[in-house]
A and B are shown apart, each in its own frame.
Chain A
Amino acid sequence: MALLEATNITKIFGGLTAVNDVTLTIEQGSIVSVIGPNGAGKTTFFNILTGIYKPDKGDVIFDGKPIGGLRPDQIAALGMRRTFQNIRLFHNMTVLENVLVGMHTHLHAPIWNIIMRSPSLRREEGRARDRSRELLRFVSLDNKRDELAKNLPYGDQRRLEIARALAGDPKLILLDEPTAGMNPNETMDATNLIRRLRDQLGVTVVLIEHDMRLVMTISERISVLDYGTKIAEGDGQVIRSNPRVIEAYLGKGAAGMAGHPPA
């Protein structure tokens, strides 16, 4: 069953067509990668899916509902969460608080109950804290829950961002370059974590990534964008041998050497 269907998405900034007629279908429970050279429109495409940009053309259907006209917070509330290319944590909040903010859409205590500290509020807050700590354990950050987010090392910040996204119990999580700037060991840990998102939590994962080893080992399907257009789609094997992909990455001359990995 398709969890997300984006059809004929086009986004134009001034004279630049950032995303051009892209169609992408994400199956429930899959891990899908979107790759492409810098400036290919991958992040713009993510921003359209999450509602930050409105597409000039095309529809997005998520979990059976059209979400094209919704605000980013409404889309997030429906169960689509994301991380950012340049980590965007709430720096002056603690690790635990960051995850609690991610749980916002699941907390409903009215302001009156908050002021009165009613028993139902205490229960809700207690549950939220327990769940947050569970998620922090899942990304192995529970021992750092009281530290300010800005004081965490880089890799921990990436994992905290994932925990924060998980706090909304998402059906779909979009990871924008989750291993950017990581060394091989950290990348391996990240790969395992991404796999566990799907295998243990049942979350469908879409990632933008430049690390081809990661992309090839983890994704069941790969879509390649170049100059805003989808130029190829398929599993690792198909992408590896697609001449247009090789051309996009290495230039025209390299296209003849089919069979070699593009990166």
Chain B
Amino acid sequence: MATSSPQTGGTGAWDRLSGLLGRGPGGYAFLSLYLLITSLTLLLNPRTSLLTDVIFILFLLLLLIVYRTRVHIGFKVALGVIALGVVLPYFGTLNPYYIDVATQAGIYVALALGLNVVVGFAGLLDLGYVAFYAVGAYIWSIFSTPQIGAMISGAVPVPNVWFYGFILVGLMIGGAFGVLLGLPVLRLRGDYLAIVTLGFGEVIRVLAENLDKPINITNGAQGIKDIARPPIFFSGALRAIGLRQLDDNQLYQFFFYFMVLVIVLITVMIVGRLKNSRIGRAWTAIREDETAAIAQGIPLVRMKLMAFGVGASFAGTMGVVFAAKQLFINPPTFDLLTSISILSMVILGGLGNIPGVILGAVLVTLLNLQILPRIAEILRSAKSAGVPIPQSFDPTQYQRLLFGLLLILMMIFRPEGILPEDRRRQELHEDEDEPSEESAGATA
């Protein structure tokens, strides 16, 4: 991957920057100041606007800078905890829109990390990844609503406290579906594999759309509404420390924000550890050269199925959380575009590289939820204010175009992703090195 010049140039700039920041107390002062300024501007200016969007992005950018700077690991973790655990939630009480964006971003981070196991580590192109997400979401939706009664007459919804158990159920069912998809496609590679997985994703969506008869399992195109939310057992404690009185909806926003954050942290940890284990190395070997991998005694079938299963299990888990957060799901939520979108996060960020994938997921989510709609909005208001923009030009229509354009530019100028996978140094003292990489990745 070190063959293209833009990448080497980029890494050089990074090295110079982190070299500058890493010397003496400069880095610590800079990072603290950066956090302080962005936090204060956010908290003092909580209205939803383009300016706030930009500051919000700068605020999140801090985590990337912290990750790349050579400062003490404890300091990195502390900054991460302050930013994601204190400032962002507090900002959320002032403007709930942004904490929702952050939660969405977190969900996509976990999905992208899961897909990265399949595509980035094992090199198996999967275009139907959203199917596993759908399976997780439908599992909780069916079992937590009267829909279960429509499926099995006389059955009643499970108590909403079962949500926590269903997170594990989603994990296992997602994994099982991953293996199920893996079985028929084991002999396929590249393009052929992509087409079959694409078909699988569509099959699941079409099933969700049509399984309302003869037995009503998914309630068809109408989707399932009034999905149960888990009970919040700590609402009292939250209210006690909360500076303002929070209503139920806000509480749930916090609840899901922290829940997603915890799941993302666990996901990062699991994925990072798998990557540096015999399993991760076997996946990479398969990606690099199947024939050589099998000659090392790596059982192809088992390792590929494991990649599909592990990747899908993250999606299944997130599906359960997503359903409970969204309260309503229907088949179009899980269309091909979502699969493609998650794939673009993985590729844009840096195929195979965990911090890169996290960055890609956050970036694409922010682009789609915030920046592009905001630009469209500004253009619209400019139009109505009399700026000569042709009548037929509808800015909202051009959001996707802009996104596509960005992807194309990215692939031309930095095809290996924003943060490409740089093989870590396997030093003698890798035991001291590795936790720092992991937790730094976790905060990014």
* B288 pairs with A92, CB closer than 8 A: yes
From A90, A105, A111, A121, give the contact of B284 (CB < 8 A): A90
**Contact call A88/B284, Cβ cutoff below 8 A:** no
Known contacts A109-B277, A114-B273; A92 and B292 CB within 8 A of each other: no
Q: Is the CB of B279 within 8 A of A101?
A: no
The residue of chain B having its C-beta at the shortest distance from the C-beta of A79 within the complex is B297
Pairwise interchain contact A92-B423, C-beta atoms closer than 8 A: yes
Chain B positions within 8 Å of A77 at CB level: 297
How many residues belonging to A are interface residues under a CB distance threshold of 8 Å?
44
Contact with B along A31-64 (1 / 0, CB 8 A): 0000000000000000000101000000000000
Question: Contacts A90-B284, A93-B284, A146-B426; is A104 near B292 (CB within 8 Å)?
Answer: no
Q: Does B298 sit at the interface, judged by CB under 8 A?
A: yes
Which chain B residues border A96 with CB–CB below 8 Å?
426
Judged by a CB distance under 8 angstroms, whether B293 is at the interface is yes
Inter-chain CA distance A107–B298, complex, in Å, is 11
| From B296, B425, B431, residue with most partner A Cβ within 10 Å | B296
Assembly CA distance A117 to B269 (angstroms)? 10
Taken together as a complex, chains A and B put the C-alpha atoms of A32 and B43 apart, in Å, by 76
Contact with A along B292-333 (1 / 0, CB 8 A): 111111111000001000000000000000000000000000
Given contacts A115-B270, A115-B273, A145-B426, contact A88 B297 (CB under 8 A): no
Assess whether A52 is in contact with B291, with CB atoms less than 8 Å apart: yes
Inter-chain CA distance A168–B295, complex, in Å, is 10
Cβ B426 vs Cβ A104 within 8 A: no
- On whether the beta carbons of B297 and A76 are closer than 8 Å, the reply is yes
- Contact: B294 with A76, CB < 8 Å? yes
Interface residues of A in 118-145 (CB under 8 A from B): 121-122, 125, 128-129, 145
Known: A90-B289, A91-B288, A92-B1. 18 other contacts (CB 8 A): A52-B291, A52-B294, A71-B294, A81-B296, A88-B291, A90-B284, A91-B289, A93-B284, A93-B285, A94-B426, A96-B426, A97-B281, A97-B423, A101-B282, A101-B298, A111-B279, A115-B270, A115-B274
* Chain B CB within 8 A of A178 CB: no
Q: Is A164 in the interface zone, CB < 8 Å from B? A: yes
Q: Whole-angstrom distance between the alpha carbons of A102 and B282 in the complex? A: 9
Q: Enumerate chain B residues within 8 angstroms of A220, measured Cβ to Cβ.
A: none
Number of interface residues of B (CB under 8 A): 33
Task: Give the residue of A93, A129, A168 whose beta carbon is less than 8 angstroms from that of B423.
Answer: A93
Binary flags per residue of B385-428, CB closer than 8 Å to A gives 1, else 0? 00000000000000000000000000000000000010101110
Establish whether residues A90 and B285, one from each chain, have CB atoms under 8 Å apart when the complex forms. yes
Please tell me if A84 contacts chain B, counting CB pairs below 8 Å.
yes
State whether the Cβ of A82 lies closer than 8 Å to any Cβ in chain B.
yes
Q: How far is B294's CA from A151's CA once the two chains are assembled, in angstroms?
A: 23
Chain B residues proximal to chain A, CB less than 8 Å: 1-2, 269-270, 273-274, 277-279, 281-282, 284-285, 288-289, 291-300, 306, 421, 423, 425-427, 430-431
**How far, in Å, is A256 (CB) from chain B's closest CB?**
43
Q: What is the distance, in angstroms, from B409's C-beta to the closest C-beta of chain A?
A: 25
Whose C-beta in chain B lies nearest to the C-beta of A98?
B285
Bound Cα distance A46, B66 (Å): 52
Which of A92, A114, A122 is the one whose CB lies under 8 Å from B279?
Answer: A114
Once bound together, how far apart are the Cα atoms of A74 and B282, in whole Å? 15
With a cutoff of 8 Å between Cβ atoms, the chain A residues found around residue B425 in the complex are: 146
Q: How far, in angstroms, from A145 to B291 measured CA to CA in the complex?
A: 23
Could you say which residues of chain A place their CB within 8 Å of the CB of B421?
Answer: 92
Question: Are B288 and A90 in contact, with the CB atoms below 8 A?
Answer: yes
C-alpha gap A76/B294 in the complex (Å): 8
Within 8 A of B (CB), among A180-230: none
Query: Least Cβ distance of B438 to chain A in Å?
Result: 10
Does A231 sit within 8 A of B, measured CB to CB?
A: no
Known: A52-B291, A97-B426, A104-B278. A73 touches B285 (CB 8 A): no
Prevailing SS type, chain B contact patch: helix
Whether A148 is near chain B, meaning CB under 8 Å from some CB there, is yes
Interface residues of A (CB under 8 A from B): 50, 52, 71-74, 76-77, 81-82, 84, 88-94, 96-97, 100-105, 107, 109, 111, 114-115, 117, 121-122, 125, 128-129, 145-146, 148, 151, 164, 167-168
6 nearest CB pairs, A to B: A76-B297, A105-B297, A88-B292, A90-B288, A107-B278, A114-B277
Tell me if B278 and A109 are in contact (CB < 8 A).
yes
A74 to chain B, nearest CB (A): 8
Chain A, residue nearest B275 (CB): A114
Verify B426–A168 contact, CB threshold 8 A: no
- Chain B residue numbers with a CB within 8 Å of A167 are 296
Q: Which residues of B contact A71 (CB under 8 A)?
A: 294, 299
Give CA–CA (A115, B267) in the complex, Å.
Answer: 10
Contact across chains for A81 and B295 when beta carbons are under 8 A apart: yes
Q: Is the CB of B298 within 8 A of A104?
A: yes
Within the assembled complex, what's the spacing in Å between the Cα atoms of A51 and B177? 31
Chain B residues with CB under 8 A of A111 = 274, 279, 306
Contact assessment for A94 and B288 in the assembled complex, using a CB-CB cutoff below 8 Å: no
Q: Is the CB of B289 within 8 A of A88?
A: yes
Q: Which residue of A lies closest to B431 (CB)?
A: A122
Contacts of B295 in A (CB 8 A): 50, 72-73, 76, 81-82, 84, 88
Docked pose: A104 CA to B278 CA in angstroms = 6
Give 15 pairs: A residue, B residue, CB < 8 Å, sorted on A: A74-B297, A76-B294, A76-B295, A76-B296, A96-B426, A101-B284, A102-B296, A104-B282, A104-B285, A104-B296, A109-B277, A114-B277, A115-B273, A145-B426, A146-B426
User: Complex: how many Å from CA A89 to CA B431?
Assistant: 26
CB pair B423–A148 under 8 Å, yes or no, is yes
Quote the shortest CB–CB distance from B20 to chain A (angstroms).
25
- Bound-state CA distance A109–B278 (Å) is 8
Are A101 and B281 touching (Cβ within 8 A)?
yes
On chain B, the residues within 8 Å of A104 by CB distance are 278, 281-282, 285, 296-298
Q: Whole-angstrom distance between the alpha carbons of A145 and B423 in the complex? A: 12
Contact between A101 and B277 (Cβ–Cβ < 8 Å)?
A: no
Interface centre among A88, A122, A151 (most CB of B within 10 A): A88
